[in-house]
Amino acid sequence: MKCNILIYISIISIFGIACNNNTMKNKSYSYLALGDSYTIGQSIPTKESFPIQLANSLKQNNISISEPQIIAKTGWTTDELSIGIDTSKVLDQYDLVTLLIGVNNQYRGRSIENYRKEFNQLLNKSIKFAGNDQNKVIVISIPDWSVTPFAKERDAATISKEIEVFNTVNLEESTKLGVQYVNITDISRKTKTDSTLLAEDGLHPSAKMYALWVQEILPKALSILTKEE
């Protein structure tokens, strides 16, 4: 009798483990993408933006992920993104958060001190959205638009230097808080010799460039989500 009970308990235990593993594999992860025109995919179909391409790449790697929630708008600076977040309907927690912001701070001539303060605030919001797990947050560097046709009548050297300074700040703040960081700025500079990496507006990335970004972001996103399983 005791033997039969032990066998029965063992079967239940094995069945329970199998069910738990199956549940974990079937979990649909959530993704929040915060940013500006580079996040919404200005001048190209939304389905070709980097958050959507990233989600599709994760699915191709057997990761079940829901449609990304994107809080971003063309022209947004750090403070405008913060307001956009506060006025949007959001979940309490996400499994993955990306943050790309700052080009419009540079474009409008806002101070680097102001950027550091407001970027840090956004970074803390991002970590909170990630369940206070900084490892689930990926910061993406600001692209260098100085090499695009849009900048041909401007001081390209100054723009590039300023972008570098802004990226130094967001890297420093990211490092302090221990979030993940992906540098796509060098990829953005390839538009100088490859026009296919640009959208028709001559400023924003094409789907082809976003695909190159995703190649850099995907390993970190996979690492984050596979740890959840």
Q: Which residues contact 88 (CB under 8 A, 6 or more apart)?
A: 71
11 pLDDT above the threshold of 70: no
Dist. CA 117–CA 190, nearest whole Å: 31
Q: Which residues contact 49 (CB under 8 A, 6 or more apart)?
A: 39, 40, 41, 70, 210
86 pLDDT above the threshold of 80: yes
Select 30-226's CATH number: 1.10.357.10, 3.40.50.80, 1.10.3470.10, 3.40.50.1110.
3.40.50.1110
Q: Give the pLDDT confidence score for residue 22 in this predicted structure.
A: 42
pTM above 0.85, yes or no: yes
If one compares 148 and 21, the residue with the highest pLDDT of the two is 148
For residue 12, name the pLDDT band (cuts at 50, 70, 90): very low
Q: Give the pLDDT confidence score for residue 88 in this predicted structure.
A: 98
Q: Give the pLDDT confidence score for residue 227 in this predicted structure.
A: 84
Q: What is the pLDDT of residues 25-52, one digit of tens each?
A: 568 999 999 999 999 999 999 999 999 9
Tell me the mean pLDDT in the region 85-112. 98
Q: Give the pLDDT confidence score for residue 25 in this predicted structure.
A: 52
Q: Give the pLDDT confidence score for residue 2 in this predicted structure.
A: 45
Average pLDDT of every residue of the chain: 91
CA torsion through residues 69, 71, 72, 78, sign: negative
Say how far residue 124 (Cα) sits from the centre of its chain. Answer: 15
Q: Give the pLDDT confidence score for residue 111 in this predicted structure.
A: 98
Tell me the mean pLDDT in the region 158-170. 98
